[in-house]
Amino acid sequence: MHQLTRLTASTLWGSPNGVTTQDHWVRLLWEWSGWFALPIGLLVIGLITYALIRYRHRPGSDRIPAQFQYHIPIEAAYTIIPLVIVVIIFGLMFNAENKADAVAKKPQLSIQVQGFQWGWRFVYPNYHVEVGTADYNNINDNNNLPVLYLPAGETVQLQVVSLDVVHTFYVKEFLFNRDLIPGVNNIFDLTVQQPGLYEGQCNNICGEYHAYMRFQVEVLPPAQYDTWYQNQPYCSTTTAGVSGPPTSPPAGASCPNKPVNGTNPLS
């Protein structure tokens, strides 16, 4: 049985394996929920099936239905036992949530993620911006998506900000969603352990081209990330689908790429 749980939990059913440190907590809760939910579900279905077969009315039978109505010990049992289970699940969940949701006071790296109808803008500490809108004509086009570059193994703090309507930052391998809501300052920490290219997508209906509001996360080994970062000039902009080096504002002009402070810059 334990083996079976391991087997199912190792892939989290159909979901991809998490690549962040949060994966541990998500997996733990899945396992525990499974341990409680499967037996209870099977018990209930089993009892229903048994009752249906055993107590079904057969034509010609003159069996008299029992007319009992209360059985206090049994009723108390199926009130108290579920209460205890709920308390246990809540305890586990409370602990996991505190760990998974913890935010560092002084993060190593902060990036601001801006969502807009219908694309993404990633602002780095040196005001380098990666920006891109989806290709509205071709959902299968993966080459012109905006890319969020992250270092592997380091805790990155993301601030997610909406420039217009509500969006959601969602990368399935991160096992994580967070909404971008005008007026709500959302910050979370992310430690991706496994380098690779991941697909992300807006996960909250945001208008006509919601389905096309996709992006990619490229997680690089720290050294490679550092090299990449050093090559991005102050206040430069890389636009997805546009080849060539990042563009910079004219010398002397103020930097237009400074992040917005949790408020709507269009106001």
Partner 1 sequence: MTILEERPHQPEGHEVSLMEIVPGPRPAGLVKYITSTDHKQIGINYIVTGLVAFLVAGAMALLMRTQLIVPDNHFVTQNVYNELFTIHGTLMLFVFIGPLSFAGFGNYLVPLMIGAPDMAFPRFNNLSYWLYLGGFGMLMAGFLTNNGAAQFGWFGYAPLTEAIRSPGPGGDLWLVGIGLTGFSGIFSAVNIITTIFTLRAPGMVMFRMPIFVWNILVTMFLVLLAFPVLTSAFALLWLDRHLNTNFFNNAKGGQPILWQNMFWFFGHPEEYIIALPAFGIVTEVLASMCRKPVFGYKGMIAATLSIGALSMGVWAHHMYTTGAVLLPFFAAMSLLIAVPTGIKFFNWIGTMWRGTIVLNTALLFSIGFLIQFLFGGITGVILAQPVLDFQLHNTYFVVAHFHYVIMGLVFGVFAGIYYWYPKITGRKMSEGWGKISFLLLLVGFNLTFFPQHDLGLRGMPRRIETYNAGEGWNWLNELSTIGSYITGLGVLASVWNLFHSLRHGEIAGDNPWDAQTLEWACSSPPPDHNFEALPPIRSERPVWDANHPDMLTKVGH
Give dist(CA 23, CA 100) in Å, integer: 9
Residue 183 binds to partner 1 (criterion: CB under 8 A) = yes
Listed residue (178, 166, 156, 162) closest to 121, CA to CA: 162
Residue 241 binds to partner 1 (criterion: CB under 8 A) = no
Structure tokens at 206: 């945001």
Q: Closest separation between CB of residue 266 and partner 1, Å? A: 6
Near partner 1 in 120-149, by CB under 8 A: 138-140, 142
The pattern of x and - marking residues 77 through 96 that bind partner 1 according to CB under 8 A reads: -xx--xx--x--xx--xx-x
Structure tokens at 102: 């913890």
Residues in contact with partner 1, counted by CB under 8 A, come to a total of 89
Structure tokens at 75: 């009723």
Question: Which residue's CB is nearer to partner 1, number 182 or number 233?
Answer: 182
Residue 97 binds to partner 1 (criterion: CB under 8 A) = yes
Question: What φ, ψ does residue 227 adopt, rounded to 5°?
Answer: -60, -45
The amino acid present at 91, given as its one-letter code, is G
Among 4, 40, 197, 255, binds partner 1 (CB under 8 A): 40
Please tell me what DSSP assigns to residue 187. Answer: E
Among 5, 8, 16, 35, binds partner 1 (CB under 8 A): 16
Residue 182 binds to partner 1 (criterion: CB under 8 A) = yes
- Contact range with partner 1 by CB under 8 A, out of 39-47, 104-112, 233-241, 242-250: 39-47
3-class SS string, 135-155: CCCCCCCCCCCCEEEEECCCE
Structure tokens at 190: 């992310």
Q: Closest separation between CB of residue 96 and partner 1, Å? A: 5
Q: Closest separation between CB of residue 251 and partner 1, Å? A: 33
Give dist(CA 139, CA 167) in Å, integer: 19
Question: Which residue's CB is nearer to partner 1, number 179 or number 229?
Answer: 179
End-to-end C-alpha distance for the chain, whole angstroms: 58
Residue 8 binds to partner 1 (criterion: CB under 8 A) = no
